[in-house]
Amino acid sequence: MLSYASVFASLHRAGWQRLGLLGLCVSLGLPLNTVHAQPATTRLPNLGDGAELPLGAERRLGESIAREIYRDPDYIDDPVLGDYLQSIWQVLLDSARQRGELTPELEQQFAWQVALIRDRSINAFALPGGYLGVHLGLISAVASPDELASVLAHELTHVTQRHIARMMAQQGRQGPMVVAAMILGMLAASRTPSASGMSAANAVMVGGSAAAMQSQLNFSRDMEREADRIGYGVMTGAGFEPQGFVTMFEKLQQAARLNDNGSFPYLRSHPMTNERIADAQVRQQLLPARPALALRAVHAMMAARAQVLTGPGVDALRAISAQGSASNLASAPVAKQAGALYGATMADMALREWASARQHMARLQALPNLDAPAAYAVRLLSTELALAMGDATQALGVIESKARVLAADDRAGHLLLAQSRLASKQVVQAKLASQDLMLWVNQRPRDALAWQLLASAYELQGDSLRAIRAQAEARAMELDYPAAVDRFKAAQELSRGLAREGRLDRAGHIEASIIDARLRQLENLRREQALER
Ligand SMILES: [Zn+2]
């Protein structure tokens, strides 16, 4: 849990007010650790020690921050939005790789994980070690994937250019845990008070402290310009429209003029300096005049999804639902209709207004000329609606008719298919789900949600040993090593009991030896985690 009280208590203990320097661009980030990585044998170095922070040390610093963010109730793993984000993020990574910004060494040592935060304010952030984060508010506010790509490419560049390490090397004398606490404090301060459960008074207090910290943690102006320049190259090299950079920049500039810091915490960590604005104008003048980007249906739907998932409250949900029923909606462009109807269906689901949800969904499904990604987003949502209404048979019917062609990287599709199978409560379906999920986690062992579903699939089959092990892996992937060790110990005990009773077959013995090995690895990781505190 990102506990504000504990973060600020530790900042106070560390006497951060007296620490100068240390810049971090932060906006924030999140992580998944590779549990299969070799356990590090050394503790985090003092940040001022080396000429430059070594890659491994920066990664571990990032993990120590990431594991706190993971426990935050506002961390959200939404596979549908996650896939959309990845569709942008992965091509940016490809582009950075081709341009030589992302070296093989950096790629291998850092996490390159982007996490979603349930907050309606506009923010994105890069943490040490290749952990990045995006507020849902940013996704709901941008008009195109190109605008989102311009922000992500900027943050990506802060990481690839080692801006974080450079600042720490130049200025840092603090221990890594102090730095981690400062970054967590900044992240806490960037959050919308109501969304993070803070009282208004606390928010003001945190805001004041944050301003003081921010002045110490900002990247330099040169680093910001470099992130703009190289990030622009990365995003356009990836095939995104340069106008996306321009229009996003204009949005930020306008918010800066209005001094809209509350809903744009991004501006606090990325101030709109005159130099950045001048650079952006030059880039814009070099662009050929082109018509504004047309709204794409899939983007409109994902923006609407992000908005509903911020949990805006009953009145706002009713307003979103009403937009889907507006009489003039039918005359709007199809993409806009798709966004409104998708958002309305989501809002109805949150309100548990099933009749209205069904109506909005039917109109969404009847929209003509949706492209393939948009049509697929509609299909996934109709599966979710059936599941939410408790109709597993229908959910399975909708998603399974597509199952044979689920793309290898279609996480939302695979996980929704598994959820639909589990909802049927049939052992035969649970078996299919566990087979599919085993293949999935073999390829992507860091997927905590997939491990959790796998645990449920084994439970339904009465296979307690594998269920407990899968629960243990889920905790481990969330970097909660003490909880993972507890679960692995429970699995070990169970396997020994079964062995004594002669009830462990050959496959069971193999499972038991995997559990023994994983328990030893996790105990090492838990020890290191405790040492770093
Ligand atoms: Zn920046």
Cα(366) to ligand 1 centroid in Å equals 43
Q: Are 146 and 234 in contact (CB under 8 A)?
A: no
Instruction: Give the best-scoring range by mean pLDDT among 5-9, 32-36, 43-47, 507-511.
Output: 507-511
Question: What is d(CA 114, CA 138) in angstroms, rounded to the nearest whole number?
Answer: 13
**The two three-digit tokens of residue 234, written as one number:** 């990365």
Is the pLDDT higher at 210 or at 422? Answer: 422
Cα(129) to ligand 1 centroid in Å equals 16
Cα(291) to ligand 1 centroid in Å equals 28
Cα(435) to ligand 1 centroid in Å equals 43
- Residue 523: its H or E element: helix 506-532
Residue tagged 């579903």 (tokens): 453
Residue 306, pLDDT score: 98
Q: Is 1 exposed, middle or buried (0-12, 13-18, 19+ CB in 10 A)?
A: exposed
Is the pLDDT higher at 533 or at 422? Answer: 422
Tens digit of each residue's pLDDT (9 = 90 or more) over 125-155: 998 999 999 999 999 999 999 999 999 999 9
Q: Is 481 exposed, middle or buried (0-12, 13-18, 19+ CB in 10 A)?
A: buried
Cα(447) to ligand 1 centroid in Å equals 29
Cα(269) to ligand 1 centroid in Å equals 7
Per-residue confidence at 275, pLDDT binned at 50, 70, 90? confident
Cα(163) to ligand 1 centroid in Å equals 10
Backbone angles phi, psi at 75, to 5 degrees: -75, 130
Cα(191) to ligand 1 centroid in Å equals 18
Cα(385) to ligand 1 centroid in Å equals 39
Cα(100) to ligand 1 centroid in Å equals 20
Can you state the angle between helices 176-189 and 200-217, rounded to 10 degrees? 130
Whole-number CA gyration radius for the chain: 24
Residue 454, pLDDT score: 98
Cα(9) to ligand 1 centroid in Å equals 28
Decide if pLDDT at 23 tops 80. no
Decide if pLDDT at 3 tops 60. no
Cα(190) to ligand 1 centroid in Å equals 15
Question: DSSP letter string over 320-342?
Answer: HHHHHT-TTGGGS-HHHHHHHHH
Question: What is d(CA 467, CA 487) in angstroms, rounded to the nearest whole number?
Answer: 10
Tens digit of each residue's pLDDT (9 = 90 or more) over 296-322: 999 999 999 999 999 999 999 999 999
Decide if pLDDT at 251 tops 60. yes
Cα(51) to ligand 1 centroid in Å equals 23
Cα(158) to ligand 1 centroid in Å equals 7
Cα(165) to ligand 1 centroid in Å equals 14
Cα(153) to ligand 1 centroid in Å equals 10
**The two three-digit tokens of residue 211, written as one number:** 């301003």
Q: Are 238 and 94 in contact (CB under 8 A)?
A: yes
Decide if pLDDT at 51 tops 60. no
Angle at 114 between CA 267 and CA 311, to 5 degrees: 70
Per-residue confidence at 402, pLDDT binned at 50, 70, 90? low
Nearest to 145 by CA among 83, 84, 223, 56: 84
Residue 303, pLDDT score: 98
Burial 180-193, CB ≥16 within 10 A → b, else e: bbbbbbbbbbbbbb
Tell me the longest C-alpha to C-alpha distance in the chain. Answer: 78
Cα(124) to ligand 1 centroid in Å equals 9
Residue 258, pLDDT score: 80
Question: What is d(CA 507, CA 513) in angstroms, rounded to the nearest whole number?
Answer: 10
131-135, strands of its sheet edge to edge: 75-76, 113-117, 131-135, 124-127
Tens digit of each residue's pLDDT (9 = 90 or more) over 435-477: 999 999 999 999 999 999 999 999 999 999 999 999 999 999 9
Beta-bridge mates of residue 124: 134
Cα(89) to ligand 1 centroid in Å equals 17
Cα(420) to ligand 1 centroid in Å equals 41
Per-residue confidence at 429, pLDDT binned at 50, 70, 90? very high
Instruction: Give the single-character DSSP code of 258.
Output: T
Residue type, 31: P
CA distances from 202 to 103, 131, 182, 206 (A): 43, 27, 17, 6
Percent of the chain past pLDDT 70, that is, above it, reads: 82
Residue 261, pLDDT score: 66
Residue type, 259: N
Per-residue confidence at 404, pLDDT binned at 50, 70, 90? low
Q: What is the mean pLDDT of residues 217-232?
A: 87
Cα(36) to ligand 1 centroid in Å equals 31
Cα(221) to ligand 1 centroid in Å equals 9
Helices (H), 23-100: 55-70, 79-98
Cα(77) to ligand 1 centroid in Å equals 25
CA distances from 420 to 81, 374, 435 (A): 19, 21, 14
**The two three-digit tokens of residue 161, written as one number:** 């250019």
Helix, strand and coil content of the chain, in percent to the nearest 5, comes to: 70, 5, 30
Q: What is the mean pLDDT of residues 197-221?
A: 53
Percent of the chain past pLDDT 90, that is, above it, reads: 59
Per-residue confidence at 170, pLDDT binned at 50, 70, 90? low
Residues in the 5 Å CB sphere of ion ligand 1: 25, 224, 227, 270
Question: What is d(CA 387, CA 380) in angstroms, rounded to the nearest whole number?
Answer: 11
Cα(25) to ligand 1 centroid in Å equals 6
Is the pLDDT higher at 194 or at 519? Answer: 519
CB under 8 Å to 102, separation ≥6 — which residues?
Answer: 93, 96, 160
Question: DSSP letter string over 216-241?
Answer: HHPPPHHHHHHHHHHHHHHHHHTT--
Decide if pLDDT at 269 tops 90. no
Range scoring the smallest mean pLDDT among 48-57, 137-146, 295-304, 360-369:
48-57
Cα(234) to ligand 1 centroid in Å equals 15
Cβ count within 10 A of residue 134: 28
Cα(56) to ligand 1 centroid in Å equals 23
Q: What is the mean pLDDT of residues 12-39?
A: 32
Is the pLDDT higher at 70 or at 233? Answer: 233
Backbone angles phi, psi at 199, to 5 degrees: -75, 160
Q: Are 84 and 153 in contact (CB under 8 A)?
A: no
Q: What is the mean pLDDT of residues 53-66?
A: 87
Nearest to 119 by CA among 251, 264, 18, 234: 264
Cα(48) to ligand 1 centroid in Å equals 22
Q: What is the mean pLDDT of residues 237-247?
A: 92
Cα(409) to ligand 1 centroid in Å equals 30
Residue type, 173: R
Residue 214, pLDDT score: 55
Helices (H), 261-353: 265-269, 274-286, 297-309, 314-324, 334-351
Residue 299, pLDDT score: 97
Q: Are 255 and 58 in contact (CB under 8 A)?
A: no
Q: How many residues does the chain have?
A: 533
Is the pLDDT higher at 252 or at 182? Answer: 252
Residue 71, pLDDT score: 87
Residue 216, pLDDT score: 56
Can you state the angle between helices 79-98 and 297-309, rounded to 10 degrees? 120
Residue 433, pLDDT score: 97
Q: What is the mean pLDDT of residues 275-289?
A: 83
Decide if pLDDT at 8 tops 80. no
Cα(149) to ligand 1 centroid in Å equals 14
